[in-house]
């Protein structure tokens, strides 16, 4: 039997309420925690609000209405006062102390009036935010140029703008005992899997974490346990409202976390993660080509270096007409270590590009081209053929919009390299087997197979995943 939780309520005595909330909010110590004492129709009142988190114009209008109330117009209860004297629409009554504290810390304005057993909560929040610009990672050649921002209300508004349907539901929840982070769960009521939706909402309500400091990543790690040794991602993230709206219309669930400019889409299969927005902004033939090319490049990027290492161990397997792939010059470093060093060096270049100011990006590119090009080959560290294959791997990594999937392929490729250098052809086959087992044993958060509709096989669904269908055929 669950314990009964008795929530503490505010008092009708204003002095008691003020003493409690001044102590809890550390008024006087926190420079941005402000209070304003008022006289409303002869009754004492006090406002609690946070500096910089409210709209000045709305705040002034609220004060004007409050100060214009006459003594004979003063009602006896907070509900009558709200109905007769407050013209604002985003106002509610509250008497639970913990809820009031959360509202104040979330940026809402709270009004206590002496003699009222409930306070008035005004939602006049205004957060510092940036424009809805096109996300730098999820760019498109033809589509819309807007993107999500760090304000959850703006993000849900972008979805409402695209889906004007009564079945679109956006439920607001909170998680984090210290952060009380807002979480919006978006879905189509007539298309969503309600069993999965119920399970997801139950998990969010049952979260016991101090804070979602890393936004969606913290939420993802808290909701569903993931085996650390399986690197393939279970979630899809998007900063594009058009992509997110399309996923909602397909029956998926989208989660927004306040302070995060991405939408978390679930459940997600491998084929969902490999999709890209340009697949749909071009005609079906072009979209199909782009999709198949991306899949082929990803598969080839996994095989190319382990297979080359295997062939270098067994040069007799190479037909005479393909002898040109053999190393022309000897190097001081074995082929295996060349590949491993370059795998790490590519990540070093990525980190350097992220942390380099824009004004220094051109010198960095020139220096990287020299070091990773002529100098590395002429110095005897690397072979030109190895540099060519690793250049293809680097390009293939950037062809994937999902970083986690690109790194999952990278980890599996490195594992295959290690097994191949140790056990030859048997290690190469074992590496492929481990990658397949990791994919097959992986599950979406809804419980369905990660490779669906390939495993379990569904040709009709698989055809829509591999090819870009005409809108009339969807």
For residue 47, give every residue at least 6 positions away whose Cβ sits within 8 Å of its Cβ, in sequence order, or none. Answer: 35, 36, 38, 109, 110, 111, 112
pLDDT of residue 237: 93
pLDDT of residue 119: 94
Four-residue CA torsion sign, 354, 359, 364, 365: positive
User: In this predicted model, what pLDDT tens digit does every residue of 350-391 receive, in sequence order?
Assistant: 888 777 777 666 666 666 666 666 666 666 778 888 888 988
Question: Looking at the structure, do residues 341 and 449 belong to the same domain, yes or no?
Answer: yes
Q: Give the mean model confidence (pLDDT) for residues 308-327.
A: 88
Sheet strand arrangement including 168-175: 168-175, 181-188, 253-257, 263-266, 236-238
pLDDT of residue 6: 55
Using CA atoms, how far residue 347 sits from 20, 52, 342, 354, in Å, is 53, 40, 9, 11
User: In this predicted model, what pLDDT tens digit does every residue of 15-26 receive, in sequence order?
Assistant: 999 999 999 999
Confidence at 4, pLDDT banded by 50, 70, 90: very low
Decide which of 268, 301, 334 is a domain's last residue. 268
Question: Looking at the structure, do residues 233 and 288 belong to the same domain, yes or no?
Answer: no
Share of the chain above pLDDT 70, in %: 93
Count of alpha carbons within 13 Å of 244, Cβ hemisphere only? 31
pLDDT tops 50 at residue 257:
yes
pLDDT tops 90 at residue 167:
yes
pLDDT tops 90 at residue 184:
yes
Question: Looking at the structure, do residues 408 and 372 belong to the same domain, yes or no?
Answer: yes
pLDDT tops 80 at residue 402:
yes
Region for residue 42 given its phi and psi (left: phi exceeds 0; alpha: psi -120 to 50; beta: otherwise): left
Its pTM stands at 0.86
Share of the chain above pLDDT 90, in %: 47
pLDDT-wise least confident of 29-33, 127-131, 259-263, 348-352: 127-131
pLDDT of residue 456: 84
Task: Count how many domains the chain has.
Answer: 3
User: In this predicted model, what pLDDT tens digit does every residue of 410-419 receive, in sequence order?
Assistant: 999 999 999 9
pLDDT tops 50 at residue 1:
no
Strands (E), 95-248: 109-113, 119-122, 168-175, 181-188, 236-238
Question: Looking at the structure, do residues 161 and 209 belong to the same domain, yes or no?
Answer: yes
pLDDT of residue 227: 72
Domain membership flag for residue 240: yes
Question: Looking at the structure, do residues 340 and 450 belong to the same domain, yes or no?
Answer: yes
Four-residue CA torsion sign, 112, 118, 122, 125: positive
Question: Looking at the structure, do residues 330 and 439 belong to the same domain, yes or no?
Answer: yes
Q: Which of 5-19, 317-331, 434-448 has the highest mean pLDDT?
A: 434-448
pLDDT of residue 172: 94
Distance CA 68, CA 256 (A): 40
Domain membership flag for residue 289: yes
Classified as helix, coil or strand, 265 is: strand
pLDDT of residue 62: 79
Domain membership flag for residue 273: no
pLDDT tops 80 at residue 457:
yes
Domain membership flag for residue 259: yes
Distance CA 304, CA 309 (A): 9
pLDDT tops 80 at residue 326:
yes
Nearest-CA neighbor of 451 among 431, 432, 465? 465
Domain membership flag for residue 202: yes
pLDDT tops 70 at residue 305:
yes
Region for residue 121 given its phi and psi (left: phi exceeds 0; alpha: psi -120 to 50; beta: otherwise): beta
Domain membership flag for residue 90: yes
For residue 270, give every residue at least 6 positions away whose Cβ sits within 8 Å of its Cβ, in sequence order, or none. Answer: 232, 405, 439, 450, 451
Nearest-CA neighbor of 30 among 8, 60, 11, 52? 52
User: In this predicted model, what pLDDT tens digit does every residue of 241-250 receive, in sequence order?
Assistant: 999 999 999 9
User: Packing angle between helix 335-355 and helix 403-423, nearest 10 degrees?
Assistant: 160
pLDDT of residue 236: 92
pLDDT tops 80 at residue 426:
yes
Q: Tell me which residue range forms the domain holding 356.
A: 280-464
Domain membership flag for residue 360: yes
Q: Give the mean model confidence (pLDDT) for residues 123-150.
A: 84
Question: Looking at the structure, do residues 227 and 319 belong to the same domain, yes or no?
Answer: no
Question: Across all residues in the chain, what is the average pLDDT?
Answer: 87
Q: Give the mean model confidence (pLDDT) for residues 292-313.
A: 93
> What residues form DSSP beta bridges with 265?
236, 254
pLDDT tops 90 at residue 7:
no
Question: Looking at the structure, do residues 253 and 310 belong to the same domain, yes or no?
Answer: no
pLDDT of residue 3: 44
pLDDT higher at 438 or 142:
438
Question: Looking at the structure, do residues 257 and 237 belong to the same domain, yes or no?
Answer: yes
pLDDT of residue 447: 86
The answer to whether 239 and 147 are in contact (CB under 8 A) is yes
Decide which of 268, 294, 322 is a domain's last residue. 268
pLDDT of residue 364: 62
Nearest-CA neighbor of 121 among 77, 86, 170? 86
Question: Looking at the structure, do residues 336 and 400 belong to the same domain, yes or no?
Answer: yes
Distance CA 313, CA 307 (A): 10
Domain membership flag for residue 345: yes
Nearest-CA neighbor of 215 among 252, 179, 240, 166? 179
Distance CA 424, CA 399 (A): 30
Question: Looking at the structure, do residues 28 and 111 belong to the same domain, yes or no?
Answer: yes
Helices (H), 151-240: 152-162, 194-205, 216-223
Question: Looking at the structure, do residues 320 and 245 belong to the same domain, yes or no?
Answer: no
Decide which of 122, 139, 173 is a domain's last residue. 122
pLDDT tops 90 at residue 218:
no
pLDDT tops 80 at residue 331:
no
pLDDT higher at 261 or 329:
261
């Amino acid at each position: 039997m669950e314990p009964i939780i008795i929530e503490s309520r505010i008092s009708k005595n204003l002095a008691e309420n003020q003493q409690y909330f001044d102590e809890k909010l550390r008024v006087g110590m926190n420079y941005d925690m402000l209070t304003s004492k008022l006289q409303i129709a002869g009754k004492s009142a006090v406002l609690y609000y946070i500096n910089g988190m409210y709209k000045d114009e709305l705040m002034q209008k609220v004060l004007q209405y409050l100060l214009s109330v006459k003594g004979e117009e003063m009602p006896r209860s907070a509900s009558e006062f709200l109905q007769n004297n407050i013209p604002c629409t985003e106002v509610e009554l509250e008497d639970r102390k913990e809820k009031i504290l959360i509202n104040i810390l979330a940026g809402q304005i709270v009004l206590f009036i002496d003699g009222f057993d409930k306070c008035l909560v005004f939602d006049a929040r205004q957060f510092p935010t940036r424009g809805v610009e096109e996300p730098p990672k999820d760019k498109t050649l033809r589509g819309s140029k807007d993107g999500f921002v760090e304000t959850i209300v703006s993000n849900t508004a972008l979805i409402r703008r695209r889906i004007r349907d009564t079945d679109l539901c956006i439920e607001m929840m909170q998680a984090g005992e210290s952060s009380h982070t807002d979480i919006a769960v978006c879905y189509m009521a007539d298309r969503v899997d309600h069993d999965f939706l119920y399970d997801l909402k139950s998990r969010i309500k049952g979260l016991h974490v101090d804070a979602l400091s890393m936004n969606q990543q913290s939420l993802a790690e808290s909701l569903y346990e993931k085996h650390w040794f399986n690197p393939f991602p279970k979630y899809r993230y998007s900063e594009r409202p058009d992509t997110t709206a399309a996923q909602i219309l397909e029956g998926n669930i989208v989660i927004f976390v306040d302070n995060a400019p991405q939408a978390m889409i679930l459940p997600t299969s491998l084929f969902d993660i490999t999709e890209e927005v340009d697949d749909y902004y071009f005609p079906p033939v072009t979209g199909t080509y782009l999709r198949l090319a991306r899949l082929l490049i990803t598969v080839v990027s996994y095989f190319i270096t382990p297979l080359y290492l295997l062939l270098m161990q067994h040069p007799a397997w190479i037909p005479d007409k393909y002898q040109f792939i053999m190393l022309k010059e000897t190097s001081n470093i074995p082929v295996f270590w060349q590949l491993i060093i370059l795998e790490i060096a590519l990540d070093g270049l990525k980190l350097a590009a992220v942390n380099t100011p824009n004004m220094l990006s051109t010198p960095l590119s020139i220096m990287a081209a020299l070091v990773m090009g002529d100098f590395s080959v002429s110095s005897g560290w690397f072979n030109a053929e190895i540099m060519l294959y690793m250049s293809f791997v680097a390009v293939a990594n950037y062809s994937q919009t999902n970083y986690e999937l690109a790194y999952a392929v990278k980890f599996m490729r490195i594992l295959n390299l290690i097994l191949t250098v140790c056990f030859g052809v048997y290690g190469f086959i074992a590496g492929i087997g481990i990658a397949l087992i990791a994919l097959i044993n992986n599950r979406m958060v809804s419980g369905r197979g990660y490779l669906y509709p390939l495993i379990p096989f569904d040709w009709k669904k698989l055809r829509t995943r591999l090819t870009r269908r005409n809108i009339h055929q969807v």
